A = this chain, B = another copy of it.
């Protein structure tokens, strides 16, 4: 039920609850599915039931960088950015794992929000959360050197995957962190020389996570 995922539910009128429940639809996403792309798209609010999504931006020449991720119970608002005229930037939302989501159509949500102070205040919290995510990202790229960003990324990935072996490529990490593959490869080799990781084709094993964490701190 959608109601489980919206902390605001009890403050909505029963009529609004009914409208939200009836207009929302459940969708299954496969890893790699793009659910929202750029300004032209306005699929609606995405409520993550399980799985993992990521939001990223693109450069004109095809580079990309992840600006935040969405996990179970997170709500993505930027996929409904058409309802907020002042949001004038483009993000792409992609399933990073197989995911189940609810989609609340933008026009329904927008109309309700215009008349409901609780829903509008809830929306303020949603935007503020994403804004905070992006500011965290800004601080990373402004103040942290790349070795710190990469070590933080590897540690976070291990937590998310609940494994010390990451099945990923240097290319994918580069796209995630918005840099070139060579830069990732060079730094990973340095990490391997330091005894923090062991590299194989298509995988990275973290063998000294304390050593890796020490770089970041």
Residues of chain A whose beta carbon lies under 8 Å from any beta carbon of chain B = 57, 59-60, 63, 65, 67, 84-89, 113-117, 120-121, 123-132, 134-139, 141-143, 178
Contacts and interface: CB of A to CB of B under 8 A. Distances in A.
Nearest to A136: B89
Chain copies in complex = 2
A67 to B, nearest CB: 7
A134 B67 CA distance: 12
A132 B81 CA distance: 11
A109 to B, nearest CB: 12
10 contacts: A59-B143, A63-B142, A65-B142, A89-B132, A113-B124, A123-B124, A124-B127, A131-B134, A141-B141, A142-B178
Contact of A86 (B114, B125, B141, B178): B125
A131 B117 CA distance: 21
Contacts of A63: 142-143
Contacts of A132: 86-89
Contact of A127 (B115, B127, B142): B127
Given A57-B139, A138-B57, A138-B137, A124 B84 contact: yes
